[in-house]
Chain A
Amino acid sequence: MKRTRVTADRKGTALLMVLVAMVVLALLSSASMMSAFQEARSSRAAQIQQRALTVAEYGLNLQLANWTSQRSGLALGAIDSSTVGVALGDTAVVRIQRLTNVDYQVVSIGRAGVGNGLLEAQRQVSLLVKMSAPTIRPGGIVTSYGDVDIQGSPDVTGRNTTPPGWTGCGAGGGDTVAVSYKPGTSISVQKPATQAVGGTRADPRAGDPRTYDTFGSDSWASLVARANVRVTGNISPTPSGSSSTCNMYSSNWGEPSRGGNAVVGCQGYMPIIYSPGDLDLQNGRGQGILIVDGRLRLRGNFQFVGLILVRDEFEAEGTTDVWGAIMSRNTDGSVTRVRGNAFLAYSRCAVDKALGGLGSPVRLRERAWANGY
């Protein structure tokens, strides 16, 4: 028997109204949520962009703080490139290009949010810097605050002399006097023709104590603070390394020789050597800047190329060879003495090379910083 289902008539609009209301409310809620999400995303993007700028500036400043002598020696137009990792995958690519003899352009590209395609940001900044090196202007091969006494058979010349075998020292010229001394002090030269080539000069600069401890952007103390080698005891410095490497031992003062047995890897190493007390050197060789906070005595076959700064007495004898310049403050009232067969020759090139490695980048005072687009 077939069953008949009786359904009652259903009337009314309550369900419909509730559905419509729910749909409208859901749409409004969804739109609000989307708007909030969009707002959050925009804020995050702005934050990442700011982070990229910060990363770029951090990379730039870090590379300036960690300036290397290799960068100081870049050829015109050459570029030194490095990558600085910061945090969370953020990186800065820093490129340093030499523009002129003194100017460098540092470009830093900071990237943040790397790997997040929606939020990745990049910012670029650049800075102009110029090299600032200590300004040391010796008056001759010997600049002395105290009395000067040259006896025996030494050669002392103010003629600008290129150290044997050195290249890239430019043309001649630039001669100076053999001895520059404080006005009012006594000077004694036994054989002026060979022991004071270029003559001697009573120079007010030699009589100014600041000449011996203030060097433009550097001072005695700042040079000491930057010393690569601290000497303890009297040693015979000897270059150590290979044709391409140089061992930074305290007994290694660089390689001034350009002969067949030279340690080529150390020829570009021009250290600052600091002795906190008296120093007596009889043999060995070195180059750079030698700072002696006491008395310095050179004897035997010791050879040095560069600049020598002495607080007290300076004395050279034997067959010592020095190319560059010597500045003796004679604070103890001592006498600057040269004896025996010592060879002291002024060399502008040697001084410049010694100072060249000390340059540090300084930003220009105006218009140094530029935003990259």
Chain B
Amino acid sequence: MLSRRRGYTLVELLIAVSILGIMGTMVAQLMMSQQRFFQRMSEQTSARRDLRTALGTLPTEMRGVSSAGGDISSFGASSLAFRSTIGASFVCERSSSTTIDVPPVNTARTTTSNWVTTPAVGDTVYALRHDSAGVAGDYWSAHRITGVSASAGLCLTSPYTDIALDAGKSRFRFTVAPNLPDSVVAGSALRFTRSARYELAAQSSGKWYLQRQELQNGAWSTPVVLSGPYMEPRAGGSSGFALAYFDSTGAAVAVGGSSRRIARIDVALRTIGQAGSDPRAGGVVDSVKLGVALRNRR
């Protein structure tokens, strides 16, 4: 008596394996496609974040540049160095020919002293002089800061602070050189500046990043990488960080021309992301262009 054997025939098995193979391949392709889509989207998000980071930093500094005042020290197609205005205030008391006191940063009634970082030794302070008449005669006197101190006991009788509401708040005293002219008096406006430089620089990975440096005590600080990677600098204008300069009539100011004519700076940024797992697709490329009108031009 033959025992009854349950099972599949070879044909059945072959059909089942084929169907499974086809389905598996389809599912795998779907998953890989989805994974590539996700990766690409992540790259795109990352690229745009880089662009936003740069756009959040650069224009803020550029707007305050006084091209007429000679703030732009050098400008190129993919680099820019200028005196960045890091703060604004005014004299609440002039205690000597080399010291000026300024109100607290947190006065109760309005903004008096305001800076992104406390001005330090080596920075430059511009003081508005009052020995000229008329708007045409505005004149700012430049002084290097040689000392900074803070005390709640300064400017106590100044009309620019509230005796009760601002009591106990720390005020700053800046020692400067050369001596202040007599025409810098209480109420004279102040602008604190520190030189800064933006440029593309290759990192150890070989990729190009936008970096910022500050001039501190006569030497450029260690670069701070802001964002990237960007396309490498190219002479043709398709650089990852491309700058173009224009005067108040819209005419281009050539690199090497007079920086005092510059009224607008166009910034173009082109990021280049990592290539995904799909060898056919290149890295994500995105770009943005922005025109920054300098607020302090003639």
Contact = CB atoms under 8 A, between A and B. Distances in A.
B23 to A, nearest CB: 8
Contact of B187 (A28, A100, A369): A100
A303 interface: no
Interface stretch (A186-194, A218-226, A332-340, A358-366): A358-366
B96 to A, nearest CB: 20
Contacts of A25: 30-31, 34
Nearest to B298: A365
Contacts of A68: none
Interface string A76-101: 11110100000000000001010110
A39 B48 contact: yes
B172 interface: no
- Which of A35, A216, A367 has most B Cβ within 10 Å? A367
A28 B296 contact: no
Given A28-B38, A36-B41, A367-B140, A372 B114 contact: yes
A312 interface: no
B288 to A, nearest CB: 11
Interface stretch (B128-136, B146-154, B199-207, B236-244): B128-136
| Majority-rule SS of B interface residues | mixed
A113 B161 CA distance: 31
A69 interface: no
Interface in B69-125: 69, 85, 87-88, 90, 109-112, 114-116
B185 interface: yes
B132 to A, nearest CB: 11
Given A21-B31, A76-B187, A370 B85 contact: yes
B110 A95 contact: yes
Contact of B64 (A36, A100, A369): A369
B296 A366 contact: yes
Contacts of B140: 366-367
Interface in A21-75: 21, 24-25, 28-29, 31-32, 35-36, 38-39, 42-43, 46, 49, 75
B247 to A, nearest CB: 16
Nearest to B36: A28
Interface string A107-121: 101000000000000
Contacts of A370: 64, 85, 88, 114, 191
Given A76-B187, A364-B128, A370-B85, A124 B52 contact: no
A102 B130 CA distance: 9
A369 B135 contact: no
B230 to A, nearest CB: 19
A368 interface: yes
A365 B136 contact: yes
B27 interface: yes
Given A42-B49, A99-B90, A126-B88, A373 B115 contact: yes
Contact of B41 (A35, A105, A109, A368): A35
Interface residues of A, number: 48
Nearest to A12: B16
Interface string B32-44: 0011011001101
Nearest to B86: A373
Nearest to A13: B20
Interface residues of B, number: 56
Contacts of A369: 63-64, 295-296
Interface in A315-373: 362, 364-373
A38 B48 CA distance: 11
Nearest to A24: B31
B38 A32 contact: yes
Interface string B206-225: 00000000000000000000
Q: Which of B63, B158, B295 has the most CB of A within 10 A?
A: B295
Given A25-B34, A28-B34, A367 B191 contact: yes
B187 to A, nearest CB: 4
A126 to B, nearest CB: 6
Contacts of A99: 90, 160, 187-189
B250 interface: no
A371 B138 contact: no
B135 A372 contact: no
A95 B41 CA distance: 45
B60 interface: yes
B193 to A, nearest CB: 9
Interface in B151-165: 158-161
A78 to B, nearest CB: 8
A124 B114 contact: yes
28 contacts: A17-B27, A32-B38, A35-B38, A36-B45, A77-B159, A78-B159, A79-B109, A79-B110, A97-B160, A99-B90, A99-B160, A99-B189, A103-B189, A105-B189, A364-B128, A364-B138, A365-B136, A365-B298, A366-B66, A366-B138, A367-B85, A369-B63, A369-B64, A370-B64, A370-B191, A371-B60, A371-B63, A372-B114
Q: Which 5 A-B pairs have the closest CB atoms?
A: A77-B159, A369-B295, A100-B187, A370-B88, A99-B187
Given A99-B188, A366-B66, 12 more contacts: A21-B31, A126-B88, A128-B189, A364-B128, A367-B85, A367-B126, A367-B191, A367-B296, A368-B296, A370-B85, A370-B88, A373-B87
